[in-house]
Amino acid sequence: MFTCNNINLLTFTYYLKYILAINMTIVPFIYFYLNLINLIKNKKKLNKWYIKRRIKPIFYIIILFTLSLILHNTLNTSNNICYLSATPKIYHEYKNSYNFLQNKDIDSELKNNYLNNILTNKSNNTLTSTVYKQANIIKVNEEKNSIVEEPKVIVEDNFLNETDTNIQNNVYIINGTFNYPKYVYGNTNTYSGMFCPSDPLNNGYNNPYGYNNYFYTRLTRFIEEARNNGYLITISSQGCRTYDTQINYYNTMTPGRAASPGLSLHGFGIASDLEFYNQDGSICSYFRTDSSCPSMGWAHQNAEKFGLTFPLLYSNYKEDWHIEPLNKSKY
Protein backbone atom coordinates (compact mmCIF):
# COMPACT_ATOMS: atom_id res chain seq x y z
CA MET A 1 0.00 0.00 0.00
CA PHE A 2 1.19 3.50 -0.81
CA THR A 3 2.13 5.26 2.41
CA CYS A 4 2.05 8.98 3.08
CA ASN A 5 3.90 10.48 6.03
CA ASN A 6 5.30 13.53 4.29
CA ILE A 7 3.43 16.78 4.87
CA ASN A 8 4.55 18.23 1.52
CA LEU A 9 3.29 15.20 -0.39
CA LEU A 10 -0.01 15.26 1.49
CA THR A 11 -0.41 18.99 0.78
CA PHE A 12 0.29 18.46 -2.93
CA THR A 13 -2.22 15.60 -3.08
CA TYR A 14 -4.81 17.62 -1.17
CA TYR A 15 -4.74 20.47 -3.69
CA LEU A 16 -4.47 18.08 -6.66
CA LYS A 17 -7.64 16.35 -5.55
CA TYR A 18 -9.56 19.60 -5.50
CA ILE A 19 -8.16 20.80 -8.80
CA LEU A 20 -9.40 17.56 -10.38
CA ALA A 21 -12.79 18.05 -8.75
CA ILE A 22 -12.99 21.57 -10.17
CA ASN A 23 -12.04 20.31 -13.65
CA MET A 24 -14.77 17.68 -13.54
CA THR A 25 -17.57 19.84 -12.15
CA ILE A 26 -17.15 23.59 -11.94
CA VAL A 27 -15.28 24.23 -15.23
CA PRO A 28 -17.79 22.33 -17.45
CA PHE A 29 -20.71 23.87 -15.60
CA ILE A 30 -19.42 27.42 -16.01
CA TYR A 31 -18.65 26.88 -19.69
CA PHE A 32 -22.05 25.46 -20.60
CA TYR A 33 -23.86 27.98 -18.41
CA LEU A 34 -22.12 30.94 -20.07
CA ASN A 35 -22.75 29.51 -23.53
CA LEU A 36 -26.40 28.95 -22.74
CA ILE A 37 -26.74 32.59 -21.68
CA ASN A 38 -24.90 33.64 -24.83
CA LEU A 39 -27.21 31.58 -27.05
CA ILE A 40 -30.30 33.05 -25.42
CA LYS A 41 -29.03 36.59 -25.93
CA ASN A 42 -27.92 35.96 -29.55
CA LYS A 43 -30.67 33.76 -30.98
CA LYS A 44 -30.76 35.66 -34.24
CA LYS A 45 -27.03 35.15 -34.76
CA LEU A 46 -27.24 31.38 -34.34
CA ASN A 47 -25.69 29.98 -37.54
CA LYS A 48 -23.19 27.37 -38.70
CA TRP A 49 -20.23 29.69 -38.26
CA TYR A 50 -21.28 30.51 -34.69
CA ILE A 51 -21.82 26.83 -33.79
CA LYS A 52 -18.50 25.78 -35.35
CA ARG A 53 -16.69 28.44 -33.33
CA ARG A 54 -18.25 27.07 -30.13
CA ILE A 55 -17.48 23.41 -30.81
CA LYS A 56 -13.71 23.80 -30.49
CA PRO A 57 -13.77 24.94 -26.82
CA ILE A 58 -16.20 22.12 -26.04
CA PHE A 59 -13.61 19.68 -27.37
CA TYR A 60 -11.00 21.05 -24.92
CA ILE A 61 -13.49 20.94 -22.06
CA ILE A 62 -14.24 17.27 -22.80
CA ILE A 63 -10.52 16.43 -22.91
CA LEU A 64 -9.93 18.22 -19.59
CA PHE A 65 -12.88 16.46 -18.01
CA THR A 66 -11.85 13.03 -19.33
CA LEU A 67 -8.21 13.31 -18.23
CA SER A 68 -9.21 14.56 -14.78
CA LEU A 69 -11.74 11.74 -14.41
CA ILE A 70 -9.19 9.10 -15.44
CA LEU A 71 -6.58 10.43 -13.03
CA HIS A 72 -9.13 10.70 -10.23
CA ASN A 73 -10.35 7.13 -10.72
CA THR A 74 -6.79 5.81 -10.97
CA LEU A 75 -5.69 7.46 -7.72
CA ASN A 76 -8.95 6.67 -5.97
CA THR A 77 -8.76 2.93 -6.67
CA SER A 78 -5.03 2.35 -6.24
CA ASN A 79 -4.92 2.33 -2.41
CA ASN A 80 -3.24 5.72 -2.54
CA ILE A 81 -3.71 6.62 1.10
CA CYS A 82 -2.72 10.25 0.48
CA TYR A 83 -5.41 10.72 -2.12
CA LEU A 84 -8.05 8.75 -0.24
CA SER A 85 -7.39 10.74 2.94
CA ALA A 86 -7.08 14.19 1.37
CA THR A 87 -10.30 15.55 2.90
CA PRO A 88 -10.38 18.94 4.68
CA LYS A 89 -10.93 17.35 8.11
CA ILE A 90 -8.11 14.78 7.89
CA TYR A 91 -5.71 17.12 6.07
CA HIS A 92 -6.02 19.92 8.63
CA GLU A 93 -5.87 17.53 11.59
CA TYR A 94 -2.74 15.93 10.14
CA LYS A 95 -1.14 19.30 9.34
CA ASN A 96 -1.82 20.75 12.80
CA SER A 97 -0.56 17.62 14.55
CA TYR A 98 2.52 17.42 12.32
CA ASN A 99 3.46 21.06 12.99
CA PHE A 100 2.88 20.60 16.72
CA LEU A 101 4.89 17.39 17.05
CA GLN A 102 7.79 18.00 14.66
CA ASN A 103 10.01 19.75 17.22
CA LYS A 104 8.92 17.73 20.24
CA ASP A 105 11.15 15.25 21.98
CA ILE A 106 9.10 12.19 21.16
CA ASP A 107 9.71 8.70 19.84
CA SER A 108 9.66 8.93 16.01
CA GLU A 109 7.90 5.58 15.56
CA LEU A 110 5.10 6.54 17.94
CA LYS A 111 4.78 9.92 16.24
CA ASN A 112 4.58 8.33 12.75
CA ASN A 113 2.03 5.77 13.95
CA TYR A 114 -0.12 8.57 15.32
CA LEU A 115 0.07 10.54 12.06
CA ASN A 116 -0.68 7.42 10.02
CA ASN A 117 -3.73 6.77 12.20
CA ILE A 118 -5.01 10.21 11.27
CA LEU A 119 -4.59 9.41 7.57
CA THR A 120 -6.41 6.12 7.83
CA ASN A 121 -9.13 7.80 9.92
CA LYS A 122 -8.63 5.42 12.83
CA SER A 123 -9.75 6.32 16.35
CA ASN A 124 -7.03 5.43 18.85
CA ASN A 125 -7.45 7.48 22.00
CA THR A 126 -4.79 5.56 23.90
CA LEU A 127 -2.22 6.36 21.23
CA THR A 128 -3.43 9.98 21.10
CA SER A 129 -3.07 10.47 24.84
CA THR A 130 0.34 8.81 24.92
CA VAL A 131 1.65 10.97 22.08
CA TYR A 132 0.36 14.18 23.59
CA LYS A 133 1.65 13.17 27.00
CA GLN A 134 5.15 12.71 25.58
CA ALA A 135 4.80 16.01 23.74
CA ASN A 136 4.46 17.70 27.14
CA ILE A 137 1.21 19.52 26.43
CA ILE A 138 0.78 20.33 30.09
CA LYS A 139 4.24 21.83 30.26
CA VAL A 140 3.52 24.01 27.22
CA ASN A 141 0.25 25.22 28.72
CA GLU A 142 1.95 26.03 31.99
CA GLU A 143 4.61 28.05 30.18
CA LYS A 144 1.94 30.03 28.32
CA ASN A 145 0.14 30.79 31.58
CA SER A 146 3.23 31.32 33.71
CA ILE A 147 2.23 34.91 34.40
CA VAL A 148 -1.10 33.85 35.89
CA GLU A 149 -1.06 33.07 39.59
CA GLU A 150 -1.59 29.36 40.15
CA PRO A 151 -4.64 28.48 42.24
CA LYS A 152 -4.17 26.71 45.53
CA VAL A 153 -5.24 23.17 44.81
CA ILE A 154 -5.12 20.26 47.22
CA VAL A 155 -2.26 17.87 46.42
CA GLU A 156 -3.40 15.47 43.68
CA ASP A 157 -2.06 12.48 45.61
CA ASN A 158 -5.11 12.81 47.82
CA PHE A 159 -7.36 11.91 44.92
CA LEU A 160 -6.17 9.14 42.60
CA ASN A 161 -3.14 8.52 40.42
CA GLU A 162 -3.80 11.37 37.99
CA THR A 163 -0.63 10.76 35.97
CA ASP A 164 -1.79 7.86 33.80
CA THR A 165 -3.79 7.79 30.57
CA ASN A 166 -6.94 6.06 31.78
CA ILE A 167 -9.61 6.86 29.17
CA GLN A 168 -13.22 7.35 30.23
CA ASN A 169 -15.68 8.71 27.69
CA ASN A 170 -12.79 10.07 25.59
CA VAL A 171 -11.38 12.02 28.57
CA TYR A 172 -7.98 11.37 30.12
CA ILE A 173 -6.17 13.06 33.00
CA ILE A 174 -2.50 14.03 33.16
CA ASN A 175 -1.07 15.87 36.15
CA GLY A 176 -4.50 16.95 37.31
CA THR A 177 -5.61 18.39 33.95
CA PHE A 178 -8.71 16.94 32.29
CA ASN A 179 -8.12 16.52 28.55
CA TYR A 180 -11.24 16.18 26.43
CA PRO A 181 -11.81 16.11 22.63
CA LYS A 182 -12.03 19.33 20.66
CA TYR A 183 -15.45 19.43 19.00
CA VAL A 184 -15.24 18.82 15.23
CA TYR A 185 -18.48 19.17 13.28
CA GLY A 186 -19.43 15.85 11.69
CA ASN A 187 -16.95 13.79 13.73
CA THR A 188 -19.09 12.04 16.35
CA ASN A 189 -15.97 10.77 18.14
CA THR A 190 -15.52 14.35 19.39
CA TYR A 191 -19.14 14.80 20.54
CA SER A 192 -19.97 14.74 24.23
CA GLY A 193 -22.66 12.32 25.35
CA MET A 194 -21.95 9.78 22.61
CA PHE A 195 -20.09 7.31 24.83
CA CYS A 196 -21.83 7.46 28.21
CA PRO A 197 -21.62 4.02 29.90
CA SER A 198 -24.86 2.08 30.25
CA ASP A 199 -23.53 0.14 33.26
CA PRO A 200 -20.81 2.32 34.88
CA LEU A 201 -19.98 0.11 37.86
CA ASN A 202 -19.23 -2.83 35.56
CA ASN A 203 -17.21 -0.68 33.18
CA GLY A 204 -14.46 0.57 35.49
CA TYR A 205 -16.27 3.59 36.96
CA ASN A 206 -16.15 4.26 40.71
CA ASN A 207 -19.72 5.59 40.73
CA PRO A 208 -23.10 4.46 39.35
CA TYR A 209 -23.75 7.70 37.45
CA GLY A 210 -21.05 7.69 34.78
CA TYR A 211 -18.99 10.58 36.15
CA ASN A 212 -15.29 10.44 35.29
CA ASN A 213 -13.57 8.66 38.19
CA TYR A 214 -11.22 11.52 39.03
CA PHE A 215 -13.91 14.17 38.78
CA TYR A 216 -16.25 12.11 40.99
CA THR A 217 -13.49 11.65 43.57
CA ARG A 218 -12.97 15.41 43.70
CA LEU A 219 -16.69 15.99 44.02
CA THR A 220 -17.13 13.52 46.88
CA ARG A 221 -14.19 14.97 48.81
CA PHE A 222 -15.64 18.43 48.23
CA ILE A 223 -19.10 17.33 49.48
CA GLU A 224 -17.58 15.57 52.51
CA GLU A 225 -15.59 18.66 53.48
CA ALA A 226 -18.75 20.76 53.16
CA ARG A 227 -20.57 18.36 55.48
CA ASN A 228 -17.67 18.51 57.95
CA ASN A 229 -18.18 22.27 58.04
CA GLY A 230 -21.91 21.97 58.59
CA TYR A 231 -23.13 22.49 55.01
CA LEU A 232 -25.31 20.11 53.03
CA ILE A 233 -24.67 19.88 49.27
CA THR A 234 -25.66 17.10 46.88
CA ILE A 235 -24.60 16.28 43.32
CA SER A 236 -26.74 15.41 40.30
CA SER A 237 -27.44 11.72 39.76
CA GLN A 238 -27.45 12.31 36.01
CA GLY A 239 -23.70 11.78 35.82
CA CYS A 240 -22.79 11.39 32.16
CA ARG A 241 -25.48 13.19 30.12
CA THR A 242 -26.28 11.45 26.84
CA TYR A 243 -26.25 13.20 23.47
CA ASP A 244 -30.01 12.64 23.03
CA THR A 245 -30.72 14.18 26.43
CA GLN A 246 -28.69 17.25 25.50
CA ILE A 247 -30.68 17.54 22.25
CA ASN A 248 -33.88 17.55 24.31
CA TYR A 249 -32.55 20.27 26.64
CA TYR A 250 -31.36 22.34 23.68
CA ASN A 251 -34.73 22.14 21.93
CA THR A 252 -36.93 22.77 24.97
CA MET A 253 -35.00 25.30 27.06
CA THR A 254 -34.70 29.04 26.47
CA PRO A 255 -32.29 29.72 23.54
CA GLY A 256 -28.76 30.10 24.84
CA ARG A 257 -29.46 28.31 28.10
CA ALA A 258 -28.38 24.82 27.12
CA ALA A 259 -25.10 24.06 25.32
CA SER A 260 -25.36 22.87 21.72
CA PRO A 261 -25.55 19.06 21.46
CA GLY A 262 -22.05 17.59 21.47
CA LEU A 263 -20.45 20.51 23.33
CA SER A 264 -21.62 20.07 26.93
CA LEU A 265 -19.03 18.87 29.44
CA HIS A 266 -21.87 16.98 31.14
CA GLY A 267 -21.66 14.55 28.23
CA PHE A 268 -18.02 13.78 29.09
CA GLY A 269 -18.89 13.09 32.73
CA ILE A 270 -16.80 16.04 33.97
CA ALA A 271 -19.53 18.48 34.98
CA SER A 272 -22.26 18.33 37.58
CA ASP A 273 -25.20 20.38 38.85
CA LEU A 274 -25.25 20.83 42.62
CA GLU A 275 -28.16 21.27 44.98
CA PHE A 276 -27.65 23.53 47.98
CA TYR A 277 -29.54 23.25 51.29
CA ASN A 278 -30.37 25.56 54.17
CA GLN A 279 -29.46 24.73 57.76
CA ASP A 280 -32.98 23.38 58.36
CA GLY A 281 -32.59 20.87 55.53
CA SER A 282 -34.74 22.70 53.01
CA ILE A 283 -33.46 23.42 49.50
CA CYS A 284 -32.20 26.96 48.92
CA SER A 285 -34.60 28.94 46.74
CA TYR A 286 -33.82 29.67 43.08
CA PHE A 287 -33.37 33.39 43.79
CA ARG A 288 -30.54 33.05 46.26
CA THR A 289 -27.19 34.61 47.07
CA ASP A 290 -24.05 33.40 48.78
CA SER A 291 -25.29 35.16 51.91
CA SER A 292 -28.85 33.85 51.89
CA CYS A 293 -27.64 30.31 51.08
CA PRO A 294 -24.48 29.72 53.19
CA SER A 295 -23.85 26.24 51.77
CA MET A 296 -23.61 27.75 48.28
CA GLY A 297 -21.41 30.55 49.57
CA TRP A 298 -19.04 27.98 51.09
CA ALA A 299 -18.97 26.03 47.83
CA HIS A 300 -18.10 29.06 45.71
CA GLN A 301 -15.40 30.11 48.13
CA ASN A 302 -13.71 26.70 48.52
CA ALA A 303 -14.13 24.95 45.15
CA GLU A 304 -10.65 25.80 43.85
CA LYS A 305 -9.05 24.08 46.86
CA PHE A 306 -10.45 20.82 45.48
CA GLY A 307 -9.51 21.45 41.85
CA LEU A 308 -13.07 22.55 40.98
CA THR A 309 -14.65 25.71 39.62
CA PHE A 310 -18.00 27.38 38.90
CA PRO A 311 -17.41 28.82 35.40
CA LEU A 312 -20.95 30.14 34.80
CA LEU A 313 -21.32 32.43 37.81
CA TYR A 314 -21.05 35.52 35.61
CA SER A 315 -22.42 34.26 32.29
CA ASN A 316 -25.45 35.71 30.51
CA TYR A 317 -27.48 32.88 31.99
CA LYS A 318 -25.99 32.61 35.46
CA GLU A 319 -25.68 29.07 36.78
CA ASP A 320 -24.44 29.12 40.35
CA TRP A 321 -24.94 25.36 40.59
CA HIS A 322 -22.80 24.20 37.61
CA ILE A 323 -19.39 22.82 38.65
CA GLU A 324 -16.46 21.52 36.56
CA PRO A 325 -12.77 20.59 36.98
CA LEU A 326 -10.56 23.64 37.43
CA ASN A 327 -7.93 22.61 34.88
CA LYS A 328 -9.16 21.51 31.46
CA SER A 329 -7.58 21.24 28.02
CA LYS A 330 -8.80 20.19 24.57
CA TYR A 331 -6.81 17.74 22.46
Cβ neighbours of residue 59 under 8 Å, at least 6 residues apart?
A: none
User: Which residue type, as a one-letter code, is found at position 20?
Assistant: L
Of the candidates 255, 273, 260, 284, which has an alpha carbon nearest to the alpha carbon of residue 319?
273
What's the farthest any 2 CA atoms get from each other in the chain? Answer: 98
Q: What angle do CA 32, 36, 41 make, to 5 degrees?
A: 150
120-166 per-position pLDDT tens digit: 665 555 566 666 656 654 344 444 444 444 434 444 444 444 455 46
Residues of the chain with pLDDT under 70: 1-6, 36, 38-56, 78-81, 85, 100-107, 109-111, 118-166
Backbone angles phi and psi of 234, in degrees to 5? -125, 160
Q: What is the DSSP string of 52-67?
A: HHHHHHHHHHHHHHHH
Sign (positive/negative) of CA torsion 40, 45, 46, 50? negative
Find the helix packing angle between 108-119 and 88-101, rounded to 10°.
Answer: 170
Q: What is the pLDDT of residue 302?
A: 95
CB-based contact 308:325 (threshold 8 Å): yes
C-alpha span between 29 and 252 (Å, rounded): 44
Q: Any idea which fold 156-330 has?
A: Muramoyl-pentapeptide Carboxypeptidase; domain 2 (3.30.1380)
**What mean pLDDT value characterizes the chain?**
79
CB-based contact 76:83 (threshold 8 Å): yes
